[in-house]
Amino acid sequence: MAIVPDLLQIKATVERMEKRYSAQNGDVAQVLWAAYVKVKVRFETDLSDERDIWLSRAAALMLLKYQLEVSK
């Protein structure tokens, strides 16, 4: 059985991840963060459903996390 998080849970997770990854040091982290900030604006512009926006942000942050892990 799948667990479907509510919007408040998704927002809290995204905000926690944003806080963590915006504070990362290093060239790779800074480039990835700058790209995330740009794509975040695109999500807010291109998507109309608030849940879709936050899920898209979460997905982009998961990709950022993965890239930082493999670049170590």
pLDDT over 80 at 8, yes or no: yes
Whole-structure pTM value: 0.91
Question: Is 3's pLDDT higher than 90?
Answer: no
| CA dist., res. 42 & res. 40, Å (int) | 5
pLDDT tens-digit series, residues 22-68 = 999 999 999 999 999 999 999 999 999 999 999 999 999 999 999 99
pLDDT score, position 1: 79
Residue 6 is predicted with a pLDDT of 94
Distance between CA atoms of residues 11 and 16, nearest Å: 8
Q: Rounded CA gap, 67 and 11, in Å?
A: 22
